[in-house]
Amino acid sequence: MAVGTSAALKLLVEAKYTEQLLIELSNSDDTAATTKDDAKILLACVDTIAGFQINANLIWDDTIEIQNREITWGVILTLRAYKARADDVKNLENWEEKLRTGIRLVTHNNRIQPSSDGQTLASLRPVGSLPDMDRINLDSIIPGGTPSEGDDFPPGGLSRDN
């Protein structure tokens, strides 16, 4: 697992989205800006990673593409939400809900993994065959079964014609 950092996320966002979009989103109060505000983008990355950890209940792993897709989009939504417009804040909340109901359920390690400390070994009998303890007692009463030697269960035995 490669734990992603805010600096790595910033580079990922800069590679994925256009310079113009990042200039507009990181300078929401300065429409005449010609360069992106790196500090604001980095803060959005920090906030997004924290939101990802809280809502997806995962540590962002930058080698998992589905996480990269979601977290880079989260940075854009976070930058938009910094403007405090109701629609932008609602979009960020919807993204967080998607993490809780989608990503967490799909990629989280909360599945119960099979494990055992038992000493029992798997049977070598074919699938569907009776265990040895039942074979001795029940073979004679199962249609098509073969009577076991010394088997007198049920008392008096059963005829195969019954």
Summarize pLDDT for 94-126 with one digit per residue, the tens: 999 988 887 765 555 555 666 777 777 666 777
Residue pair 139/87 in contact (Cβ under 8 Å)? The answer is no
Mean pLDDT to the nearest integer, 38-48: 95
Residue 53 is encoded by which pair of tokens? 């950890």
**Nearest 5°: CA angle at 121, between 118 and 127?**
125
**Residue 27 in this model has a pLDDT that exceeds 80:** yes
pLDDT band at 46 (very low <50, low <70, confident <90, very high): very high
Who's near 122: CB < 8 A, 6+ residues apart? none
DSSP lists the bridge partners of residue 61 as 3
| Alpha-carbon gap, residue 127 to 139, rounded angstroms | 17
Reference 162, options 143, 146, 139, 134; nearest CA is 143
